[in-house]
Chain A
Amino acid sequence: MSESHELETIEIQLLLEGMFRYYGFDFRNYALASLKRRIWNTIRSERLTTVSALQEKVLHNPAYLDRLLLDISVNVTAMFRDPSFYISFRNKVVPLLRTYPFIRIWHAGCSTGEEVYSMAILLQEEGLYDRCRIYATDMNELVLKKAKTGIFPLKQMQEYTQLYHQAGGKKAFSEYYTAAYENAIFRSSLKENIVFAHHNLATDNSFNEFNVILCRNVLIYFNSHLQERVHKLFYESLGMFGVLGLGHQESLIFTPYEKYYEPIESSEKLYRRIK
C-alpha cells in the first residue's frame, strides 16, 4: 500500500470513528471500496480537498453530518424493482404464506418505501394483505419520513406501470394511486398494515419473529464482518421455514449461514430456513 493510500485509510478510519463516537452513526464496517467513493463525492461537493477537512466540518457542524449521511447511505430504489423477483414471490412464496393465519414480514433497509408498497400491492392482489403486517425499517429518519407519506413522483409512474405488469400485476396500475400535481398519492389502504420504524442493521437487534425477511441490495454496502452480523440477526429473527429474500447478486454462499437455508428459487435469491 502506497503512503498516500495509507494516509487516506487512516483519515477515513478517523472520520468514521468520530461519527460513531460523537453522533452514534456506525459506518465502520461498511464495504470500504464504495464507501470511499461516496465520501469523496461529498468532499468534492462540499468543495473540500481532504477527508480530514470533512471530518472537521462534520464534527463541528451537524448540517454537514446530515448531508454526509444522505450521500453515504445509498437510497436507490424503485417500485417493482427486478420484476422477476415479484413473479417468483407470487409463484413460490405466496402459496407458503397462504398456510399461515397471520403473516409477519420484515422489510429491512426499506429506504423511501417504493418496494414496501410494491409488496403491499402484491399481497392485496393475492388476497393475503389483511393477515399481514409489514415492518419496514431503515436507519435513515429522512427516508423513512418520505416512505410514510406513500407519495411518489408522478413522472416515474410510466416506468413503474411497466415494471408492475412485468412483475405479474393484475390490474391497471393507476388504480393504486391518485395523481395530484406532480405527485402520485398511493391508496391509503396499502399503508394500513405497514409499520414504518427506525432500525439500524449495524447496531440494533431483533425485535420480533418473522415469516418473511426481505433485505435486497442493502448488505452489498457492508463488509463481511457486518454481513455476518446481519445474517445472524436474520437467522434468529426468522421462524422455522421462514423466507429470506436477498438482491439478485447477493448470495448466502459466501456466508456461514448458507447451511441453514435451502433455495426456493436460487436465481432470485429466495431462501427458506430449514434448520
Chain B
Amino acid sequence: MKNTMNQLKVVKNSTGESNKKNFEIVVVGTSLGGLEALTVLLADLPQSFPLPVVIVQHRHKSSQNRLTDFLQKQSSLQITEAQDKEELAPGRVYLAPADYHLLIESPSEEEFSLYGNDFTESGSAAVESIHNSKVPIPNRGTPTFALSTEAPVCYARPSIDVLFESAADAFGEKVIGIILTGANSDGSKGLAKIKAEGGLTFVEEPASALCPTMPASAIANVEVDWILPLSKIAPCLVNLLRIKD
C-alpha cells in the first residue's frame, strides 16, 4: 500500500507536480455496490469539476435509463449515457450504455486512415463529392466515444478493462483511473495499463468497500497510487486538480 489516509496532506503538497500532467479525463469502474459508491463519489464533485468523468457500471443488458436518472438526482454535474461519436466535454459525466463496450477514440486515430477523405476507389461520383458538399465537417480535434458490441470481457459488457485501456491509449499519462466496489476482477488490466502509461490510479479501500473483490484484485495487480476510503476519493481529486469553488 503506497499511499494511505495519513498521507493525504502529501497530496496537497504535491499538487504542483501532479498538475504538470494536466489531467484530461477521469475514468471510473465498478460493479456490485456501484450504485451507492457512485452516489457518494458524484455528490462530492463540484459543479466546476474541470474534466470529463466516464463511468462503467456493470449492469443488466436490458436496464434502461433508470441508472442515469437516479444518479442525476445526486449530482450537480450533467449525467448522460455516452453515444457513438459524441465528443467528450469537460465537467460532464458519461455512463457506458447497457450491453455496449465504451471506448475512447483519440482524434489522431480518427485522422489515422491513410485515405481518410478518399473514397474514389468505390468509383462513384456521388460518393467522391462527400467533402465538397456544404455540410460542415465535425470538429476532429476532440476525443470522441466509440461503442462496440463485441464479446463480453470478464463476463461484462460494458467492460471496465476495455474503457480503461482505450483511455490510456488515447490520453497516455493524462488519465486518472478509479476502481470502486465490485465483485470480479474486471478493471485490473485496464488500471495496470493506465499506470504503465504514467496515469494516476485510485482504488477504493477494500476493507470499507461494499464488495472488496474488485478493489483487492486491482491492488494485487497494480502498484496503485492511492488507496482511499470512498468518501475521501472525490475530495482528493478536487485537491489534486486544485478546484476552487
Does chain B have a CB within 8 A of A34? yes
CA of A253 to CA of B86 in the docked complex: distance in angstroms? 9
**Is B101 an interface residue when CB atoms closer than 8 A count as contact?**
yes
CB distance from B214 to the nearest CB of A (A): 21
Residues of A within 8 A of B97 (CB): 248-249
Q: Name the B residues within 8 Å of A76 (CB-CB).
A: 149-151
> Is B127 in contact with chain A by the CB < 8 A criterion?
yes
Q: What is the CB-to-nearest-CB distance from B188 to chain A, in angstroms, rounded to a whole number? A: 17
Interface-lining segment among B129-137, B203-211, B218-226 = B129-137
Q: Per-residue 0/1 for B170-201: is the Cβ within 8 Å of any A Cβ (1 yes, 0 no)?
A: 10100000000000000000000000010000
In the complex, are the beta carbons of B103 and A33 less than 8 A apart? yes
How many A residues touch B, CB cutoff 8 Å? 44
Residue pair A220, B148 in contact (C-beta under 8 Å): yes
- A74 contacts the other chain (CB 8 A): yes
**CB of B122 within 8 Å of the partner chain:** yes
Q: Closest chain B residue to A27 by CB distance?
A: B113
What separation, in Å, do the CA atoms of A33 and B115 have in the docked complex? 18
A183 proximal to B (CB < 8 A): no
Taking a contact as CB atoms closer than 8 A, the residue among B135, B144, B169 that contacts A5 in the complex is B169
Q: Which of A28-44 contact B (CB under 8 A)?
A: 28-29, 31-34, 36-38
Question: With a CB–CB cut-off of 8 A, which chain A residues contact B81?
Answer: 249
In the complex, per-residue mask of A1-24: 1 if CB is within 8 Å of any chain B CB, else 0? 110010001000100010000000
The reply to whether B166 and A13 contact each other, CB–CB distance below 8 Å, is no
A198: chain B residues at CB < 8 Å are: none
The interface size of chain B toward A, counting residues with CB under 8 Å, comes to 50
Q: When chains A and B are docked, how far (Å) is the Cα of A36 from the Cα of B106? A: 13
Which of A29, A37, A225, A249 touches B100 (beta carbons < 8 Å)? A249
B140 contacts chain A at the CB level, 8 A cutoff = yes
Docked Cα-Cα span, A253 to B85, in Å, equals 9
The yes or no answer to B146 lying at the interface (CB within 8 A) is: yes
**B85 engages A254 (CB within 8 Å):** yes
B114 within 8 A of A: yes
Stretch at the interface among A94-102, A142-150, A226-234: A226-234
Interchain CA distance A120-B97 in the complex, whole Å: 28
Kindly supply a per-residue 1/0 record for chain B positions 102-123, scoring 1 wherever the CB is within 8 Å of any chain A CB and 0 otherwise.
0111101110111111010110
Given A5-B169, A33-B104, A217-B149: A229 touches B84 (CB 8 Å cut-off)? no
**CA separation between A176 and B170, bound complex, in Å?**
47
| A220–B84 touching, CB < 8 Å | yes
Given the complex of chains A and B, what is the CA–CA distance between A257 and B130 in angstroms? 11
Contacts of A250 in B (CB 8 A): 83-84, 147
The CB with the most chain A CB atoms within 10 A, among B117, B119, B162, B197, is that of B119
User: What residues of chain A have their CB less than 8 Å away from a CB belonging to chain B?
Assistant: 1-2, 5, 9, 13, 17, 26, 28-29, 31-34, 36-38, 74, 76, 203-205, 217, 219-221, 223-225, 227-229, 232-233, 236, 247-251, 253-257
11 further interface pairs, Cβ-Cβ under 8 Å (given A33-B169, A224-B140): A29-B115, A34-B150, A37-B103, A37-B165, A203-B122, A228-B137, A249-B81, A253-B83, A254-B83, A254-B85, A256-B135
Q: Which 5 residue pairs spanning A and B have beta carbons closest together? A: A256-B135, A33-B103, A34-B148, A32-B109, A254-B85
Q: Would you mind naming 26 contact pairs between A and B with Cβ atoms under 8 Å apart? A: A1-B108, A9-B109, A13-B112, A28-B115, A29-B113, A33-B104, A33-B105, A34-B148, A37-B166, A203-B122, A205-B127, A220-B84, A221-B148, A223-B113, A224-B144, A225-B116, A225-B117, A229-B130, A232-B130, A249-B83, A250-B83, A250-B147, A251-B85, A254-B86, A254-B144, A255-B85
